[in-house]
Amino acid sequence: MDRDWIYPQSFAATARSKHASIYLQNPSTAKLAEFFDKKGLRSLKEEDRAEQWYDDWLGYQASHRLYASMLTPSPHSPAGVELNLLSYSRFLEVFAYHSPAHGYSVQCTSLGLFAILLGNNQALKDEAKAAIEAGGLLAFGVSEKDHGSDLLANEFVVRDSAPGEYLANGSKYYIGNSQHASIICILARQDDRRPAGQATRVHPVLLALRPKESKGFQGVRKIRTFGVRGGFVGEFRVKDHPFPQADVIARDHDAWDCVMGAVTLGKFFLGFGAIGICEHACQEAAAHLTRRILYGKPAIEMAHIRFAMAQAYARLTAMKLYAYRALDYLHASSAGDRRYILYCAVQKAKVCTEGVKVMAQLLECVGAKGFESDTYFEMALRDIQLLPGLEGSTHVNLALTAQFIPRYFARPENLPAAPKSLAITEDSAGEIFRMTRGRSGAIRTISFDHYLSAYRPLRAIANVRLFARQAKAFQLFFRRQYSDRKAEPNLQANLLMGQCLATIAYGQLMAENALRFDLPAQVTSAIFHLLANDLTLAAITVASSGQFDAASIAALMRRTAVVPRTAAGDWDFISARAGSI
């Protein structure tokens, strides 16, 4: 199997790249591409401008079982979450390439489905799968207008009304698909009011609400958003909605597990959306810059544009290499191997923010064209910026990443085997991923391979060696922080350290896949050039934050301020690829 699909691809019928066929061999992905090719960019942009809901798409996906084929490949199986991870990830990449706003409907459906499937209510699992099988959507109702990420402060309540019967009251904000969903999974709290002044513990309840059948479901309205304008990001109220025990997905600790499990998967899959968006924008930018003649030559031939396009292309290739390796860790996850929790957080914190960087760089190259509103590019500029904030912000994921620092650099013990590559052994495309609950637990029990082992096979490449040396310097810095501090680092210090570990873990999985995909040395060198620069910048940010002692900072700066070098011919090699995406 040709491995070049790991480079940025173009999926539009009018400009299809050679390796897009690997994605489109999946019948559902091919059907998806067919719909958008037929619709055409002009209609898509008109609908986007009109913020128009996409009934035509939903009818089409229902009649071809697109969401069902991806989310419930075996609808009658009683097991937990069942997914073909590789097919679904590629489907999401192609989906975002065509329209992130349409893709938002499957993202919210998957969140609702995962939350239900991670619970123990078999009847609701069957109902949710049947709804998707019938072409319906689901929704995931966690956020509230006044409380954002502070879920413990949420006010949506559930009260006992009779034995085994309850009343739900409250409102939710920013809930995708809420006007259309067959089921909304709502995170509420049990109302067990205590006398004033007495502390109450939050007892979460995750319940299934069927908006079309509930008289208490009221006031649904679309929140107009900067991106994904065709989607429906909604606000709604629920007033005295009666429901039986049979509608409870989970309670207490189990309810958190369902919500967090769904969010972990959801934030991971957003990374493929960021990749698809950047691929389409990169292709449009390259086509424009090739057509654009300045001073008698195509603009793409100007040295600085060639260089910037090569950098954007290298960053985008790195996003793909990371994301498709993190997929392997998710697939291999088990009660004894929970490394995926770190790699999912890094996927969110890095892949999505790298997407924003790629778009900024492409915008610099294309100039005014980037602001014309008839292009995909203009939509991409808006939509890409949503991704770092959804399903846990970059900050939240960096804070989570920081919690892994002691384990990531600890001596490996009882290490699970390196996960096999789903993307290389294409035959595993038929493999189903079963996720069951019970994979949460203390981070201190998670074991990682030696943090330098991924770089050893690539040590002939100078920029990789440089990056590995930086990683070592950070290990020393972190060790000092954890052994010298009397108190836990504060949030700001944690986020700074989380950013550094996120870049190191990003480099690690990148290196693992560079080897598996047999990446040419020129590309690996250029990618590690950018990563080494990023790590130097992260070190300077740490140094100038005022959060760390002078001796630690001096040692860190001495070892991490490096100057990577990439031969001009290597950048030319990449820019030639970028120009012909």
Ligand X SMILES: Cc1cc2nc3c(=O)[nH]c(=O)nc-3n(C[C@H](O)[C@H](O)[C@H](O)COP(=O)(O)OP(=O)(O)OC[C@H]3O[C@@H](n4cnc5c(N)ncnc54)[C@H](O)[C@@H]3O)c2cc1C
Residues near ligand X (CB under 6 A): 108, 140-143, 148-149, 174-176, 225, 228, 233, 386, 389-391, 393, 395-396, 399
> For ligand X, which is the closer residue by CB, 228 or 289?
228
Shortest CB 133 distance to ligand X, Å: 21
Shortest CB 204 distance to ligand X, Å: 14
> For ligand X, which is the closer residue by CB, 210 or 395?
395
> For ligand X, which is the closer residue by CB, 393 or 403?
393
> For ligand X, which is the closer residue by CB, 250 or 282?
250
Shortest CB 80 distance to ligand X, Å: 22
**CA distance to 21, 113, 150, 160, per residue, from 203 (Å):** 49, 22, 15, 13
> For ligand X, which is the closer residue by CB, 179 or 533?
179
Task: Tell me the residue type at 86.
Answer: L
Strands 183-190 and 233-244: what pairing? unpaired
3-state secondary structure 354-393: HHHHHHHHHHHHHHHHHHCCCCHHHHHHHHHHHCCCCCCC
Determine the Cα–Cα distance for residues 397 and 135; give it in Å rounded to an integer: 33
Write the CB contacts of 237 (distance below 8 Å, at least 6 apart in sequence): 170, 171, 217, 218, 219
> For ligand X, which is the closer residue by CB, 381 or 396?
396
First to last CA, the chain: 20
Q: What is the CA radius of gyration of the chain?
A: 24
> For ligand X, which is the closer residue by CB, 310 or 398?
398
Written as six digits, the tokens of 456 are: 């050893």
In the bound complex, which residue of the shown chain has the CB atom lying closest to ligand X? 148
Shortest CB 425 distance to ligand X, Å: 34
> For ligand X, which is the closer residue by CB, 22 or 115?
115
Query: For residues 208-236, b (16+ Cβ closer than 10 Å) or e, as one string?
Result: bbbbeebebbeebeeeebebbbbbbbbbb
> For ligand X, which is the closer residue by CB, 247 or 391?
391
Shortest CB 440 distance to ligand X, Å: 17
> For ligand X, which is the closer residue by CB, 135 or 392?
392
Determine the Cα–Cα distance for residues 456 and 419; give it in Å rounded to an integer: 18
> For ligand X, which is the closer residue by CB, 171 or 225?
225
Residue in 567, 566, 488 with CA at minimum distance from that of residue 528: 566
Determine the Cα–Cα distance for residues 403 and 440; give it in Å rounded to an integer: 14
Shortest CB 474 distance to ligand X, Å: 21
Residue in 199, 193, 132, 143 with CA at minimum distance from that of residue 172: 143
Shortest CB 148 distance to ligand X, Å: 2
Shortest CB 233 distance to ligand X, Å: 5
> For ligand X, which is the closer residue by CB, 387 or 466?
387
Cα 280 to chain center, whole Å? 17
Write the CB contacts of 52 (distance below 8 Å, at least 6 apart in sequence): 46, 230
Shortest CB 225 distance to ligand X, Å: 5
CB 363 within 8 A of CB 380: no
Shortest CB 296 distance to ligand X, Å: 45
Shortest CB 178 distance to ligand X, Å: 8
Determine the Cα–Cα distance for residues 567 and 553; give it in Å rounded to an integer: 31
Shortest CB 181 distance to ligand X, Å: 10
Written as six digits, the tokens of 319 are: 């996003």
Q: For tokens 């401008």, what's the residue?
A: 49
- Residue 17's CB is within 10 A of a number of other CB atoms, namely 18
- Residue 202's CB is within 10 A of a number of other CB atoms, namely 13
Determine the Cα–Cα distance for residues 22 and 33; give it in Å rounded to an integer: 13
Task: Tell me the residue type at 146.
Answer: D
